[in-house]
Amino acid sequence: MKTTRAFGTFVITKIVDRVKAVCILQLILAIVLSSTALGCIKSETDFPVDLTGKIKGTVKDELGNPYPKTKVFLTNGSDTVEMVTDMEGNFSGETHNLGHYSASIIPPLSTKLETEIPIAVQLRYHQVANVDFVVKPENVPAHLNFGSVQLLEEIVDKEGNTPTDPNEPLFAANIFDEPIGLLTPIMAPDNHQIVLSEFQTAKGNLVVHCNGNSSEVEVNLEGMIPNGTYTFWLAYLNKTRSVSEQIDFMNDFVNFNNPPIGPDTGTGNIVIADANGILKATLEHGSCILTDEVALVIPVLYHINGKTFGGGHVPDPEEMVHMLVYFQ
């Protein structure tokens, strides 16, 4: 009986020892886990995550047509992020900080911002702010290439001076081609020479609608030379110029030879006025012409003998600039 009691005591002691061992292991494991957790917290405190803000959005017109190459700015004090829209009108960016920012854009040429700017944006951790801008293309008036708007005194009388008499026949002076100053009578398709009063009846506007990597130019002109042949060109400028300000042909133009609206071949920019001098058409171009450069002037050329010359240089004796349309 004594031996049995001793054995029973031994068994109980072993069980107790094992229980103690398990408890000690559990305690050690708990300490390790706690230390690991505290270490992670300390690590995050010592080495904080990169708290940057993110934003995305679009620039489109009221019909949902996207405007590419449009500059978008997100600003908060010294932190300014510049973004540019892609062909779908989308933009995205990342800031250095979180908090309150202001979003704005440089609208495409001759468009009106329907969205009031700047837009207040709150950037938060683990969130992407969304901002959409809506623009609306404006009707841009066409100006006579005459008086204060005239380029290089091209429209003259038989003496090479600026005409003043409404009944005075007009001539086009050579500007670029030899012999410089050569005077060519400005003839109508019915073979009568255009006088000042006829020339000055021209008026109207152009409006451009962009849609990603294309654009449509709506032409609405009247008082043009009846049955006259006209072409339209893209004279991009590297700086803005007011309508009455002279353009420096050597320094202000982006391209030495201005491309036509439409294909490079010039096949898509020819329009003929009707018998009443009304000229209405829609021309297409393979880019958004409102976002390509700082400013744009579209010269409307009248072809004196009805001939066109593709997408290249038009000889001075064959043309005169009737209207100028400024997109700024």
Give per-residue pLDDT as tens, 156-183.
999 999 999 999 999 999 998 999 999 9
Alpha carbon 145 to chain centroid distance? 27
**Predicted confidence (pLDDT) per residue in 40-53, tens digit:** 444 444 444 557 88
With a cut of 80, say whether residue 223 has pLDDT above it. yes
Among 38-47, 184-193, 271-280, 291-300, whose mean pLDDT is lowest?
38-47
- Coil, helix or strand at residue 7: helix
Instruction: Quote the pLDDT of residue 40.
Output: 47
Tell me, yes or no, if the pTM score tops 0.75. Answer: yes
306, 229 in Cβ contact below 8 A?
A: yes
Instruction: Quote the pLDDT of residue 247.
Output: 83
With a cut of 60, say whether residue 29 has pLDDT above it. no
With a cut of 70, say whether residue 34 has pLDDT above it. no
Identify the H or E element spanning 285: strand 279-285
**Cis upstream peptide for 179 (omega within 30°):** yes
Question: What backbone phi and psi angles, to 5 degrees, belong to 196?
Answer: -55, -45
Instruction: Quote the pLDDT of residue 201.
Output: 98
Instruction: Quote the pLDDT of residue 151.
Output: 81
Percent of the chain surpassing pLDDT 90: 74
**Residue 276: CA count within 13 A, CB half-sphere:** 4
- Coil, helix or strand at residue 23: helix
Q: For residue 194, count other CB atoms closer than 10 A to its CB.
A: 22
With a cut of 70, say whether residue 67 has pLDDT above it. yes
Alpha carbon distance 111, 136 (integer Å): 5
Which residue, among 150, 156, 151, has the nearest Cα to 170 in the 3D structure? 156
Cα–Cα distances in angstroms (integers) from residue 208 to residues 115, 270, 301, in the given order:
19, 17, 18
Identify the H or E element spanning 38: helix 2-46
Write the Ramachandran bin of 191: left for phi over 0, alpha for psi from -120 to 50, otherwise beta.
Answer: left
Instruction: Quote the pLDDT of residue 292.
Output: 86
Tell me the mean pLDDT in the region 190-203. 98
